Amino acid sequence: MKDLNNSPIAATQPIGKLSMCNRLWLHRTDIIRATTALFMLWFSLQLMYGMVCITTDEFYRFFYFLRKPIVIAFNAMTLLSAVLHTIYCFYRMAKLGRSMFNNNVMVGVIILMLLLLTLVLSKQLLASFSV
């Protein structure tokens, strides 16, 4: 009987094969990040509908639209997906910085700094609009 470990086919195969479920589980963050585009599309269409209602002097219709439970649920999912996407992007940026500076940078510190910077800039923007 021929030994399969010495065959050229066995030499090209990885030692630990991953099943399809494990591959999907490993790439779940990429799948979740890709679905955030759908929620952002929902939010953009909702904003366009609001602008159309403003220009036609029927803004009350937009408020009644926003009060529906399904719209509230979609808006909550949109907010959560935006936060998740932000954290994921900050994590990727921290990993990039870590690879550039020879693992001397702590990923958690960079993520917290980026989140704090985002919060400060958001607060400044909101303060400038309220004046």
pLDDT computed for residue 36 by the predictor: 86
Which tokens is 124 given? 């400044």
For domain 17-130, which CATH number applies: 1.10.472.10, 1.20.1300.10, 3.40.50.300, 3.40.50.20? 1.20.1300.10
Tell me what the mean pLDDT of segment 95-110 comes to: 71
Tell me what the mean pLDDT of segment 82-86 comes to: 84
Query: At residue 60, does pLDDT exceed 50?
Result: yes
Buried b (16+ CB within 10 A) or exposed e, 21-51: eeeeeeeeeeeebeebeebeebbeebeeebe
Rounded Cα gap, residues 42 and 47, in angstroms: 9
Domain extent listing, the chain: 17-130
pLDDT computed for residue 77 by the predictor: 92
Tell me what the mean pLDDT of segment 104-125 comes to: 82
pLDDT computed for residue 94 by the predictor: 74
